[in-house]
Chain A
Amino acid sequence: MNIQAYIESGILEEYVLGAVSSQEKQEVECLSKIYPEIKTELLKLEQAMEKYALEHQTPPPAHLKGKIFAQMKFGPISGQVDTDEDQGATVVPIGTGTTTTRPLWASLAVAASVLLAVLLGWAFYQMSAYRAQNESLTAEVESIRSEAEYQQTLANLYRSTDYKVVRMAGVERSPESHVVAFWNQATNEVLLDVQKLPAPPSNRQYQLWSIVNGTPVDMGVLDQEFEGRILKMKATQPGTAAFAITLEQEGGSPNPTLEQMYVIGNV
């Protein structure tokens, strides 16, 4: 990653001025946690602006301080009470039933026999349809079973105390994206659950990186079929500070392309 180019892009200045979107805000905060150079620059800018602001003072009226402090309670016990608004229950009216009156029993019987004849013909025709449906149901059950297995595996990962859950949120270019990494800190095994990533263009593939001591380390490429399954990635190293995913050439790259970063998350 070209840290210098990032620093010079002007985004840090915009961040310090409070002129960034919440996506950009998160990106700056993540990257400054990973890269000391960014953090240093950010801190210098913040300090400069702080001093600048402190050179521009308008003292509030003298009586205001007492008025404000009279409303504050100090000490270890917090005097603040959160009031939750009651959730009003909504009553949904039940639809009024329609009542129909049947004419004579005779006309009922005629109608019934006509209906029976139609049903018989229809039933015969349906026999073959059921057979086909049966097959598609079997396939559906199979897919539900594999979905359930996936969900069960996920639930186990979230429950397990062996795995550290690291959420990678989408950056400005792809705010919808969201990927979760499960890091077994004992064995350093890393599993991925892609909740949302755009479909990669042809000849491109997503690649996972771990940031160790400020340096990105290749964690392998994501299988092109990444949705609805748990992906096993390369093992990481102790001291991993963050995970990130970039879009690279098919088969992966030796170094990440920062401009193509989709998600990032601190440990």
Chain B
Amino acid sequence: MAPPKLKYTEDELVASLKRNEQAAFEYLYDHYSGALYNVICRIVRDNEKAEDVMQEAFLKIWRSISSYNPDKGRLFTWMLNIARNTSIDAVRAEGRKPDFDDIQENLDRADQHASYQPSPSTMDLKSLVEKLKPERKILVDLVYFQGYTQEEVSEQLRIPLGTVKSRIRTALQDLKNYFSV
């Protein structure tokens, strides 16, 4: 077995994953499982179920890595889509859809559980979450982390669709500008 690498570039990582190297998958798990599990927990909202979904999603990532095409987007975006879709499928299989009544409670809970883990290069991002206006952050999180469509968000929160879309766009532009500095 190759000695575990401490740092991969995205290209190296993808190449090693496509060669089905254990060290690369371990690196992937160690670096991304927290972010993926966070999304899964927000959608599934049942600890036992979330573990099953995490397992299913990670095995899917492993099995279908050969179909990942770097030209179409970043690895993380691809993995997040798998995690989100697997979670939504699991929730649908139970015949329920997470309701919106307890969004706030749900978000509070998710934030409590989420541990803040700044890496040295992003140490100055502590205030990031506060940088996003709360009314925008909620919308971004509902769509990005919980897989709601913008139409559902608009209906349930009784905010016009145009407003939902423009707030989300502004939030993403803020994030983009913030991170590209």
A residues in contact (CB < 8 Å) with B: 10, 13-14, 16-19, 29, 33, 42-61, 64-65, 67-69, 71-72, 74-76, 78, 80
Interface size on B, residues (CB 8 A): 62
Evaluate contact between B175 and A49: CB separation under 8 angstroms. yes
Given A51-B179, A68-B59, residue A74 in contact with residue B21 (CB < 8 A): yes
Evaluate contact between B122 and A46: CB separation under 8 angstroms. no
Q: How far is the CB of B59 from chain A (nearest CB, A)?
A: 6
A-B contact count (CB 8 A): 147
Chain A residue with the shortest CB-CB distance to B153: A19
Q: How far is the CB of A22 from chain B (nearest CB, A)?
A: 12
Residues of A near B135 (CB, < 8 A) are none
Q: How far is the CB of B49 from chain A (nearest CB, A)?
A: 13
A75 to B63, CA, bound (A): 13
5 contacts between A and B (CB under 8 A): A19-B150, A46-B77, A56-B38, A57-B34, A58-B115
Evaluate contact between B29 and A48: CB separation under 8 angstroms. no
Evaluate contact between B34 and A46: CB separation under 8 angstroms. no
Q: How far is the CB of B126 from chain A (nearest CB, A)?
A: 9
How would you classify the secondary structure of chain A's contact residues: helix, strand, loop or mixed?
A: helix
Q: How far is the CB of A80 from chain B (nearest CB, A)?
A: 6
Evaluate contact between B172 and A57: CB separation under 8 angstroms. no
Given A44-B180, A50-B74, residue A71 in contact with residue B59 (CB < 8 A): yes
A55's partner among B72, B128, B173, B180 (CB-CB below 8 A) is B128
Evaluate contact between B20 and A49: CB separation under 8 angstroms. no
Residues of A near B150 (CB, < 8 A) are 14, 19
Given A72-B59, A80-B63, residue A60 in contact with residue B35 (CB < 8 A): no
Evaluate contact between B77 and A55: CB separation under 8 angstroms. no
Residues of A near B113 (CB, < 8 A) are 58
Smallest CB-CB A-B distances: 6 pairs? A57-B34, A58-B38, A74-B22, A48-B175, A60-B37, A48-B179
